[in-house]
Amino acid sequence: MGGGRTVVTHVIGIDIGTTGTKTGVYDSQGRCVGEAFEESVLHYPQPGAVEQDPDEIFRSVLSTVRRAVGAAGIAPGDVAALAISGQMAGIMAIDADWNPVTHYDSWLDTRCAPYLAELAPHEDDIIRTCGMALAFNHAPKLLYWRDRKDIWNRICRFVQPAGFVAGRLAGLAGADAFMDRTYVAFSGFASGETSRWNEELLGRFGLDTSKLPRIVEPWDIIGRVQPQWAEALGVAAGTPIAAGCGDQSANVLGGGLVDEGTVFDTSGTAAVFATVIGHFGTDTRYKCLITCGHVIPGLYFPMAYLAGGGLNLRWFRDVLSPREKAEWETNGINPYEALGAAAETIAPGSEELIFMPHLSGRNTPNDPTMRGAFLGLTWRHDKAHMVRAIMESIAYEYAVYLRAVREIAPDYDPTFAVNIGGGARSAVLRQIKADALGLDYHGLPGDEFGTLGAAIVAGHAVGIFPSLRETARRFAGQTRPLATCRPEVTALYAPYVDAYIEAMECLSPFYQRLQTRLREAAPKSHP
C-alpha cells in the first residue's frame, strides 16, 4: 500500500441473468472501471424443461468477478463490498450444508404447468396478497417439488441463484438461507406489502415456512467472502456481501428510476414495461401486472412483459426477410434498419392490420395456449405493413399494462418513459410507442444498469452511498429526449388498443378449445 498510492473505494455488482452472468466494478463516483461477461449454459433435458446447473452459475460468478477486477487494475483490498442481482421467477433448493439438491428450475421451465390448476381457485387471494397472477414462478414450482418426496425430504431451503452464490461465497449453512424482499411478488406465498410469508395460504397446499428462506432487506450484509473463495474472486477475504436484489429491481435502481410516476421500458428479447408508484396495489382486473418491491422502501414498481418483443422482429427477419438478410451478409446493411425504414413509410394503424405477438403463449397474464396471428390482412398489405404491425403490437400490449397501472393507481400521471435495450435504438419503434401511449420517450447516457444497481446496493450496505435515491439519480445521469408523442396520433391509436384487447379476449378461448380438440383427436399411445 506504500509508494504514495491512493486507494479508491470500489464496489462490485454482479447480475446473474438468463443469457449470462455480468460483473461490473464501480468506483465511488459510479464509473464502471472493469467489467466481464460469461454466457449462460441452458440445459433442455426434455420438452418443456429448461435448467441451469447451480455449480456452473457459481463458476461464472467466480470467473467474471476475477476478470472484471483484473480489468479494473485494482488490488483485492480496494473492494469494499459486493452484491448480486439475479433471475427472479425461478427457484432451486439446497441441503443443510448449502449443497444443491435440485437444478435451477428456470422461469422458462414449464414442467410445473399442471400445478397451476391446483392454484387457480386461490388466484385472487394470491394476487391481492402477493401482487402477481399465476405464472411459471415459485408457487407452482414449489408444488412440483412437494410431490417428489425423495427430493423434497432432502431439501433444507429454497433459494434463488443470486442467493445461492452469495451464500456459498459467505460459507452459510442451509438454515441461514435468505431471499431479499424484491423477489416476494414472484413467490405466490408472501405478502408484497409486509414482506412476510403467508402461513395461512401456504397451509392450503400442505406447506409451511420450514423450507422457505428468511426475507431480508437488499442491503443487509449476509456474510463475508470466505478465504477459500477470495483468491478465485480477486478480492480480500472478509469482503462484505450484501443480500442484493432481483435483476429487474437492480435495473430500475441503476437506471435512476427512484421517483413516483416514472415509466421504464426495457426493449430486448423480452419487452418489459415497468412503472414506479408509491403504494402497494394489485391488478385483479387485467391480471397482467407484477407488483414488485422497489429497493427504495415505500416504492413499488408494477411491471409486465411481452416475452417475444424483440424476438418477434428477429423471427420476421429470419423467416420472412431473405432479401434483407442477404444484404446484411453481403453489404453489411442492418436488416432491422432496412425493415424499420420500410415500416416508417406506413401510416399509424398499418391500414387496419393488427398483429398478435404471443407466438409462444402470453406471459402476463399466463396464457400458455395463446398464439400469434395477423388479423385483417388484405391484398394491399405487404412486408412493410407487417413489420409496422409487429412494432405496434408491442405498443398495444404496453397500453394494456398502462391501463392496468391506472386501475391500481388512479392518480398515476407519467410524463415520459425511459427506454433502454437494443430496441431503444429504433427511432420508428420509439415513435410508435410514444404515440400509442401518449408519452414522450427519453434515453439515458449509459446502457448497463443491472450491475450498477447491485453495486449501489453493495455500497449502501457498507455506508459508502448513504442515500440510495440520490446515488441512483446521480449515477444514472440526465435523460435525453428520443421521441415526442403526438396527441392526434395517440387518439388515432386508441381504438386499435381497444380492438387489440378484444382480439385477445376472443382468441384466448379459441386456442384453448383448439388445444383440447387436438389432444382428444391425438392417437392414444399403448403400453
Q: What does the CA dihedral 326, 330, 333, 334 come to, rounded to 10 degrees?
A: 60
Q: Put residue 251 in one of left, alpha, beta given phi > 0 → left and psi -120 to 50 → alpha.
A: alpha
By residue range, what is the domain housing residue 422? 256-308+400-448+458-483
Kindly state whether residue 350 falls inside one of the protein's structural domains.
no
Q: Are residues 244 and 273 in the same domain?
A: no
- Cα distances from 390 to residues 87, 129, 347, 359, 450, in angstroms, run 27, 35, 14, 12, 28
C-alpha cell at 449: 444498469
Kindly state whether residue 342 falls inside one of the protein's structural domains.
no
Q: Are residues 137 and 207 in the same domain?
A: yes
Q: Are residues 36 and 176 in the same domain?
A: yes
Determine the 3-state secondary structure of 120 from DSSP: helix
Domain boundary among 218, 234, 250: 250
Q: Are residues 136 and 272 in the same domain?
A: no
**CATH number where 21 lies:** 3.30.420.40
For residues 117 and 78, give the distance between their C-alpha atoms in angstroms, rounded to a whole number.
52
> Which among 194, 400, 166, 177 has a CA at the least distance from the CA of 285?
400
Location of C-alpha cell 407487417: 386
For residues 244 and 219, give the distance between their C-alpha atoms in angstroms, rounded to a whole number.
6
Location of C-alpha cell 418489459: 272
62 touches 53 (CB < 8 A): no
Q: Are residues 207 and 263 in the same domain?
A: no
For residue 3, what pLDDT is reported? 43
Cis peptide before 365 (omega within 30 of 0): yes
> Which among 190, 164, 187, 189 has a CA at the least distance from the CA of 177?
164
200 touches 256 (CB < 8 A): no
Q: Are residues 246 and 261 in the same domain?
A: no
CA atoms within 13 A on the CB side of 461: 32
Residue 318 makes CB contacts below 8 A (sequence gap 6+) with 325
Kindly state whether residue 374 falls inside one of the protein's structural domains.
no
Domain boundary among 230, 250, 270: 250
Q: Are residues 111 and 233 in the same domain?
A: yes
CA atoms within 13 A on the CB side of 439: 23
For residue 321, what pLDDT is reported? 87
CB atoms within 10 A of CB 425: 16
Give the count of domains, the chain. 2
Location of C-alpha cell 446496493: 457
DSSP 209: G
For residue 332, what pLDDT is reported? 77
The string over 465-500, giving b where at least 16 C-beta atoms fall within 10 Å of a residue's C-beta and e elsewhere, is beebeebbeebbeebeebbebeeebbeebeebbebb
| Helical ranges in 25-102 per DSSP H | 54-72
CA atoms within 13 A on the CB side of 8: 14
For residues 39 and 17, give the distance between their C-alpha atoms in angstroms, rounded to a whole number.
9
Q: Are residues 290 and 204 in the same domain?
A: no
Q: Are residues 210 and 272 in the same domain?
A: no
Q: Are residues 144 and 161 in the same domain?
A: yes
Kindly state whether residue 158 falls inside one of the protein's structural domains.
yes
For residues 137 and 514, give the distance between their C-alpha atoms in angstroms, rounded to a whole number.
26
For residues 100 and 21, give the distance between their C-alpha atoms in angstroms, rounded to a whole number.
19
Q: Are residues 246 and 263 in the same domain?
A: no
For residues 246 and 324, give the distance between their C-alpha atoms in angstroms, rounded to a whole number.
38
For residue 525, what pLDDT is reported? 59
Q: Work out the angle at residue 94's Cα, subtended by the Cα atoms of residues 93 and 95, and round it to the nearest 5 degrees.
A: 135
Q: Lay out the sheet containing 290-293: strands in order across.
A: 290-293, 300-306, 271-275, 263-267, 416-420, 440-443, 480-483
> Which among 230, 291, 272, 243 has a CA at the least distance from the CA of 85?
243
Kindly state whether residue 244 falls inside one of the protein's structural domains.
yes
C-alpha cell at 258: 427512484
The distance from CA 271 to its chain's CA centroid, rounded to whole angstroms, is: 9
Kindly state whether residue 323 falls inside one of the protein's structural domains.
no
pLDDT in tens, the chain (527 residues): 344 444 458 999 999 998 899 999 999 999 999 999 999 898 999 888 889 999 999 999 999 999 999 999 999 999 999 999 999 999 999 999 999 999 999 988 889 989 999 999 999 999 999 999 998 899 999 999 999 999 999 999 999 999 999 999 999 999 999 999 999 999 999 999 999 999 999 999 999 999 999 999 999 999 999 999 999 999 999 999 999 999 999 999 999 999 998 899 988 878 899 999 999 999 999 999 999 999 999 999 999 999 878 889 989 988 988 888 788 778 877 888 899 999 999 999 999 999 999 998 898 888 888 999 999 999 999 999 999 999 999 999 999 999 999 999 998 989 899 998 888 889 999 999 999 999 999 999 988 899 999 999 999 999 999 999 999 999 999 999 999 999 999 999 999 999 999 999 999 999 999 999 998 998 875 54
Kindly state whether residue 201 falls inside one of the protein's structural domains.
yes
Kindly state whether residue 339 falls inside one of the protein's structural domains.
no
Q: Are residues 411 and 274 in the same domain?
A: yes
DSSP 77: G
